[in-house]
Amino acid sequence: MTSKERAQRAIHFGKPDRLPILIFNADLAQSDLIVCDVVDHFGGENKDTSEFGFVWDSRDDTMGQPRENLLKEWSDLKDYRFPEAARPDRFADALEKMKLYGNDKYYVAGLSLSGFTVMTFLRGFENTLCDLYEEPELLGKLADGVFGFEEEVIRLSAGKGFSAVAFFDDWGTQDRLIISHEQWRDFFKPRYKRQFELCHALGMDVYFHCCGYIWDIIPDLIEIGVDILNISQPNLFDLPRLGQAFKGNVCFLCPVSYQTTSLSGTREDIFRDARELYQALGGPEGGLIGYIEEYSSLGMSRENYEACKEAFLSCGRDEG
């Protein structure tokens, strides 16, 4: 079974021969899924400039925050120009990876950062939250610009060798949504639905990354077409409850928590958590992909990084 077939069977519950893994930023040859950025948020000579125009301010090896908001006032939106979707080098990185790693991988067109997250980087986080109440029509124009650009990139991604499109949009704090569920449903859900339907119409799966505790919107995300749900802090959830509610309805993609175990746990802890994820959310039929990220920037040791790979690859072996 090729990596691509293995991933597809896990996503669509077709009994993969083993648990597929996605290694996000290292050892891509060992990864079944490979995410290729198709939006450039880290370009320029210093790798600190987004094609949306903002520049990153980072004091360590993490992403950081934009140095300033480009849309300080709503009058700034009139003169703002969204990126050109059809830029000639849009898929250069992806083509290099496909050439290097071959056709047997499950390639994902990654929007890198998307939707609401990009809106907050352009307008400012606090401003964006206030605008939901005070200036919803103007915020809608900004959302239409960001989501519309992404839709053009999705259309251009079709036929380029991608099996999925990845959205990276954080909606959770440690214990709740950033905004009310009602606001999310009214303002954002229809926009996501349009994007996800476009992906499916073009023959690509929908991969949705979201940090934080997002329980309330998981049914909505499944309803509007998410195929792969990347829950980045599984430690925030009651995993048996999560599995009882949603197992079999979406393919989860989860790490051994990089807030807790993968950073500070022992090898035994890592194997225990990987097994718990597999038992609660996956199984021989599929429904789970193991996510691994080399996170030395947060203090992850090389030993723990390797243990995460080994732990996920061990899942299900005794089940045939």
Give pLDDT tens digits along the chain (320 positions).
999 999 999 999 999 999 999 999 999 999 999 999 999 999 888 889 999 999 999 877 778 889 999 999 999 999 999 999 999 999 999 999 999 999 999 999 999 999 999 999 999 999 999 999 999 999 999 999 999 999 999 999 999 999 999 999 999 999 999 999 999 999 999 999 999 999 999 999 999 999 999 999 999 999 999 999 999 999 999 999 999 999 999 999 999 998 999 999 999 999 999 999 999 999 999 999 999 999 888 889 999 999 999 999 999 765 54
Query: From CA 218, how far away is CA 242, in angstroms rounded?
Result: 10
Domain 3-35+85-319 architecture: Alpha-Beta Barrel (3.20)
Query: From CA 288, how far away is CA 279, in angstroms rounded?
Result: 10
Can you list the alpha helix ranges (DSSP code H) found in the chain? 3-11, 76-79, 92-101, 115-123, 125-134, 136-157, 181-183, 189-201, 218-223, 239-246, 261-264, 267-281, 302-314
What residues are paired with 230 via a beta bridge? 209, 253
Looking from the CA of 3 toward its CB, the CA atoms found within 13 Å total 20
pLDDT given for residue 58 in this prediction: 81
Strands 251-255 and 65-66: unpaired
> Rg for the chain (alpha carbons), in Å?
19
pLDDT given for residue 59 in this prediction: 74
pLDDT given for residue 320 in this prediction: 42
Query: From CA 2, how far away is CA 215, in angstroms rounded?
Result: 33
- pTM for the whole structure: 0.96
Q: Hey, where are the domains in the chain?
A: 3-35+85-319
Closest CA to 294 of 50, 39, 59, 28: 28
